[in-house]
Amino acid sequence: MEILLVGTCHLSDTSDLNTLSEKDKRKYSDGDFEKLAIDLARFQADQVFVEYPFHLQEHLTSIYRSAEVEKVNDDFKENEIYQIGFRLAEMLGHDAIYAVDWNEQPEESIDLGLLAEGQSKTEFEEIMNRVQFVLEKLSTIIQQGDIIELYKYINTQQYNVNDHQVYVDLMQLDDKIAFEWVTKYWYYRNLKIVRNIKKSILPETKRAVILYGSAHNYLFKQLLEEDEAIKVIPFGDWSE
């Protein structure tokens, strides 16, 4: 089967660094998200997978299928699941959209924030400053106002490799907290999500779209392509 991998910025408020600021969010309207969904619909996916808790699939389905969508809070109506995922699934005539996320605390709480006070404080700050530089460049692209170009950019190989390098660098710090966080939370989370995706693929599905925070792109592609039956197509390549 073929999977179109669409990394996204988070559109509602989250603790994730890859979240659009209020200023940047105002750059895009319903018409922009409609334009992106129309572009994605050309792929003719049989399923759409989104960053919503796997164990809340029934709740997500009830929101998607009924008028209950009007009752959800404004944060949900702002986010990419609603603005892009719902639009896409509706355009394709799907009766459901699929929740595949896992984002829970490990058994032993690992607070990455403690690095800022630990022995690797300087190195940690250097890594975070590099992230901030990338986000500032991203904001420049956002100001150009073309949502397709924005999504093409954050789904390029170079962007994804640079994004993943942050986790590689954190893992190399001389600090147990960083190594434990990357291995026991970040890698573990991505493994769980990919497992959820594969468990959710319907027998008749030949094409699917994954709409997820772009930081997951590198590991998603690697882990999914370890299955010879799956071909991953990054949006940055497909949309050219």
Please write the tens of the pLDDT for every residue from 195-226: 999 999 999 999 999 999 999 999 999 999 99
Output DSSP code: residue 10. B
How much of the chain, in percent, has pLDDT values that exceed 70?
88
Domain housing 181? 2-238
Residues 6+ apart with CB under 8 A from 114: 177
Number of separate domains in the chain? 1
For 71-102, what is each residue's pLDDT tens digit?
A: 666 667 778 999 999 999 999 999 999 999 99
Q: Is residue 56 very low, low, confident or very high in pLDDT (cuts 50, 70, 90)?
A: very high
Contact 234, 31 (CB under 8 A): no
Q: What pLDDT score was predicted for residue 73?
A: 63
* 7 has pLDDT over 60: yes
Q: What pLDDT score was predicted for residue 57?
A: 97
Contact 167, 218 (CB under 8 A): no
**192, burial (CB in 10 Å: exposed 0-12, middle 13-18, buried 19+):** middle
CB atoms within 10 A of CB 107: 7
Distance CA 21, CA 10 (A): 9
Q: Is residue 20 very low, low, confident or very high in pLDDT (cuts 50, 70, 90)?
A: low
Distance CA 67, CA 53 (A): 21
Considering only residues 125 and 203, tell me which one the structure prediction assigns the higher pLDDT.
Answer: 203
> Which residue blocks in the chain are alpha helix, DSSP H?
22-25, 30-41, 57-65, 74-78, 80, 87-91, 121-142, 147-153, 157-172, 176-181, 188-200, 217-224, 235-238
DSSP lists the bridge partners of residue 48 as 209
For 146-191, what is each residue's pLDDT tens digit?
A: 899 999 999 999 999 999 999 999 999 888 888 888 999 999 999 9
H/E stretch holding 211 reads strand 207-213
Q: Is residue 65 very low, low, confident or very high in pLDDT (cuts 50, 70, 90)?
A: confident
**85, burial (CB in 10 Å: exposed 0-12, middle 13-18, buried 19+):** buried
Q: Rounded to two decimals, what is the model's pTM?
A: 0.91
